[in-house]
Amino acid sequence: MRKKVSIKDVADALGVSKTLVSFVLNNKTEKHGINAETRQRVLDKIKEMNYSPNQAARGLRTGKSNAVGLIIADIANPFYSRIARSIEDQARKKGYQLLICSSDEIAEREIELIQLLSDTGQVEGIIISTTQSDAKMLGAIYKDNFPIVLIDRYFEESGIPTVIVNNEEGAYSAVEKLITNGMKRIGMLTISPSFISSVRDRVKGYKKALKENNMKFDKKLLREIPFDNLRDSVRKEVMELLSPPNKADAIFLANNNLAVAAIEVINEMGLRIPNDVALVSFDDIELFQLTQPGITAVSQPIEQMGKEAFYMLERQINGEEENKPGRVVLETELKVRRSCGSVMKP
Amino acid sequence: MRKKVSIKDVADALGVSKTLVSFVLNNKTEKHGINAETRQRVLDKIKEMNYSPNQAARGLRTGKSNAVGLIIADIANPFYSRIARSIEDQARKKGYQLLICSSDEIAEREIELIQLLSDTGQVEGIIISTTQSDAKMLGAIYKDNFPIVLIDRYFEESGIPTVIVNNEEGAYSAVEKLITNGMKRIGMLTISPSFISSVRDRVKGYKKALKENNMKFDKKLLREIPFDNLRDSVRKEVMELLSPPNKADAIFLANNNLAVAAIEVINEMGLRIPNDVALVSFDDIELFQLTQPGITAVSQPIEQMGKEAFYMLERQINGEEENKPGRVVLETELKVRRSCGSVMKP
DNA sequence: TTGAAAGCGCTAACAA
DNA sequence: TTGTTAGCGCTTTCAA
């Protein structure tokens, strides 16, 4: 194998002790009153010998891995990959590595991943968009003082620090837009499992918008799509929604995956958006500004979510508990494009 | 902090030695002729005490981190996030963690990342879509026996194991399609820095297609877009390409980023695809089947690229050098959609 | 102002 | 068939 210069090699080459080199390495020279000149000699030698400290050894000794974990459904999903990028930037800035793991929304796999990361000491904390149905597991780990931050999805009473957006409000604004634009039968595609808080809140917002506009909620217009058979299921449900007796004139999609699949079906059916069916989706992915017509979508402040989440995690790692971060709720923004029809519609 | 049960705790609880527990942990019981019954007792206790081995300690002792690195331009780019997902799956299957780092195509940052990962022993090998202009740096590391696999981009003479697609052929087929469909003035948007092999080969394919169809190469029709100012630059160049005196009737885009930006401009200009301008892009992202019209694109076998790359890395890590993998070139597939016009065009 | 030495948790050679 | 022990590379207490 390759390079193997250790702290001892540097110390020997210099005729000093490992301690001294270590002090220099960790900026502890001031504290110990080391000569600036000595310090420089060490620094030079380190560079000359191209030494860098072994992470495993350092981690073993200090109990810190300088890494944090991110567990999401799928790194190939643009929503999560953008979240990941944002967290990666924050983490690197603070000298942390990021370990990204995809759970595919499988609860047991997620548990395995959490244990893999936490029990082995591979990471000092985890940011997770969880697919657990309740707070039991994560709550226990958190109580046990392992740093955790929930992102995108939360549990009501867990006390685990959380970053989410105002999903209900976002959904509400989306559906209200459709109503304003004259839509009368607004369907919604949501995703199961239905205990996922973000999705649940989007359904709430949908219902609230209907109610406040004196439109009665027709449960035949609300369809739940299983995560693991998304495409086929969307095809079936969209077709049903658009045909008699349902005859929806608009559909609100609970996330980008659903929207992508729905657009596909609608295209295939030869229907026009928004004339035959108006569309609004949650998650504003790049695609939505490029389709013709553009897709109206609820945009989430992804950058900021990642930033807040990492900050919350960092506080826990550093034991700054007094100033407890609690739950951060960020606002969404409705990006209006042509897919939602227009007020001019007859 | 939390849980701290070590191998010693398990051994003490059982009244056996750490060695025994370690053997069980590492499936070395057979080799040492440990009683099946003893083995089971240890296993039970491990589960009971909820013990899992500390990675840092294990890593320090064995010199293996059980992690590999992936360095790409940007994890938020769908092409790379899909590659990452594919590699993640392979890695996990083999018990490896994946550390993903984004370089933003900045050569110096890439070097820092490589050193960060390799010098500190954080990873046992690196898969990289490099932005280096030459093989110097990576070649040296590889020669030094640090496992490296190049993905998507290669160096001619470096000898570093590589997974790429046949970019020239892919580009050739794309441009030829445009020619078959009657396009006369085919522009191309490519990306700088131009030493990136994949992009360079796509330009080659473009030129080859023109040549073989007796169309002369007009260098005014080939535009180079800087990575760091992509959007504005694409706007400018597309506009120029489509206006007199260039009057391109088709554009070949060297990657998905360029295509996305180009479509945006074309939409804004109020032009229709393919009537006013036909389009073909490299990289088949989901978006391209959803736009109206769909965008014809050169599809890369992303799954397979990830698989091959990890396999190559694994062989190096395991020191299986004799059976040297060399360079794997995978074939692309042209996904024909409406954006490239049709043979029926006058 | 610097150094000696212990020990983090684990594996593996060697002993028994 | 199981145990003793050394030591991976580092940080840090204590001593000088």
Return the closest nucleotide (C1') to the Cα of B20: D2
Q: Do A267 and A242 touch, CB atoms closer than 8 A?
A: no
Quick: pLDDT tens for A62-120: 999 999 999 999 999 999 999 999 999 999 999 999 999 999 999 999 999 999 999 99
- The predicted structure's pLDDT at residue A192: 87
Higher pLDDT, residue B319 or A335: A335
Written as one letter, the residue type at A234 is V
CB contact under 8 A, A292 and B289: no
User: What is the rounded average pLDDT of the residues B262-273?
Assistant: 92
Show which of residues 116-135 on chain A sit within 8 Å of chain B, judged by CB atoms: 118-122
CA separation for the pair B124, B138 (Å, rounded):
15
Average pLDDT, chain B: 92
Q: In this complex, which protein residues place their C-beta within 7 A of any atom belonging to strand C?
A: A 15-20, 32-35, 38, 57, 60-61; B 4, 6-8, 18-19, 22, 25-26, 28, 51, 53-54, 57-58, 60-62
Is residue B126 predicted with pLDDT exceeding 50?
yes
Q: What is d(CA B209, CA B212) in angstroms, rounded to the nearest whole number?
A: 5
Cβ-based neighbours of A93, under 8 Å, separated by 6 or more: none
DSSP secondary structure letter of residue B214: T
The SS3 assignment for B225 reads strand
Please determine, for residue A54, whether its predicted confidence score (pLDDT) is greater than 60.
yes
Report pLDDT for B346.
42
Q: What DSSP string describes A146-177?
A: --EEEES---TTS---EEEE-HHHHHHHHHHH
Q: CA A340 – C1' C8 distance (Å)?
A: 61
Tokens read off for B149:
């696999």
User: Chain B within 8 Å of A292 (Cβ-Cβ)?
Assistant: yes
- Please state, in angstroms and rounded to a whole number, the distance separating the CA atoms of residues B239 and A70: 42
Asked if B127 contacts B70 with a C-beta cutoff of 8 angstroms, the reply is yes
Inter-chain contact B291–A291, Cβ cutoff 8 Å? yes
Which of A244, A111, A128, A265 shows the shortest CA–CA distance to A189? A265
pLDDT tens sequence across B188-216:
999 988 889 999 999 999 999 999 999 99
A58: nt with nearest C1' to CA: D10
Nearest CA of chain B to the CA of A119: how many Å?
6
Task: Give the span between the Cα atoms of A254 and A203, in whole angstroms.
Answer: 8
Instruction: Please determine, for residue A145, whether its predicted confidence score (pLDDT) is greater than 50.
Output: yes
- Count of other CB atoms within 10 angstroms of residue A309: 29
From the list B97, B115, B290, the residue facing A99 with the nearest CB is B97
| pLDDT one-digit tens code per residue, B170-182 | 999 999 999 999 9
Q: Are A145 and B2 in contact (CB under 8 A)?
A: yes
Tokens of B344: 């029926």
Q: How many C-beta atoms surround the C-beta of residue B193 within 10 A?
A: 15
Question: What CA–CA distance (Å, rounded) separates A12 from A9?
Answer: 5
Q: What local confidence, expressed as pLDDT, does residue A174 receive? A: 97
What's the token pair of residue B115?
Answer: 């050193």
A42, two tokens: 């060490």
Q: Which of A55, A92, A119 has its CB closest to that of B3?
A: A119
Residues within 8 A of A (CB atoms), B 88-117 only = 88-89, 92, 97-102, 115
| Chain-chain contact of A84 with B65 (C-beta, under 8 angstroms) | no
Q: What global pTM score does this model have?
A: 0.93
A 189-248 → B contacts, CB under 8 A: none
State residue A1's pLDDT score. Answer: 45
Separation of A60 CA and C1 C1' (Å): 28
Contacts A53 to B, Cβ<8 Å: 120
Please state, in angstroms and as integers, the Cα–Cα distance from residue A149 to each residue in A135, A314, B227, B311, following that order: 12, 10, 34, 34
Pairwise CB contact (< 8 Å): B122 & A50 = no
Residue B133 DSSP label: S
pLDDT at residue A290 greater than cutoff 90: no
What is d(CA B277, CA B247) in angstroms, rounded to the nearest whole number?
Answer: 9
Place of tokens 């459709």: A178
What is the nearest CA distance from A63 to chain B, expressed in angstroms?
Answer: 9
Q: What is the spatial distance between Cα B8 and Cα A28, in angstroms, rounded to a whole number?
A: 33
Q: Is there a contact between A76 and B286 (Cβ–Cβ < 8 Å)?
A: no
Report pLDDT digits (tens) over B81-103. Answer: 999 999 999 999 999 999 999 99
Shortest Cα distance, chain A CAs vs residue B274, angstroms: 13
CB B2 to CB A63 under 8 A? Answer: no
Q: How far apart are CA B133 and CA B344, in angstroms?
A: 44
Q: Yes or no: say if B223 and B246 are a contact pair by the CB < 8 Å rule.
A: no
Q: How far apart are CA A50 and CA A60, in angstroms?
A: 22
Cβ-7 Å neighbors of strand D: A 4, 6-8, 18-19, 22-23, 25-26, 28, 51, 53-54, 57-58, 60-62; B 15-20, 32-35, 38, 57, 60-61
Assess contact for B101 and B117: CB atoms under 8 A. yes
Nearest to A200 by CA among A333, A123, A208, A161: A208
Which of A78, A102, A146 is closest, CB to CB, to B2?
Answer: A146
Chain A residues with beta carbon closer than 8 angstroms to that of B100: 75, 84, 88, 98, 100
The residues that bridge with B71 in the sheet, in sequence order, are: B101, B128
pLDDT-derived band of residue B333, with 50, 70 and 90 as boundaries?
very high
Which nucleotides in chain D lie closer than 7 A to a protein CB? Answer: 1-5, 7-13
User: Does A267 sit within 8 Å of B292, measured CB to CB?
Assistant: yes
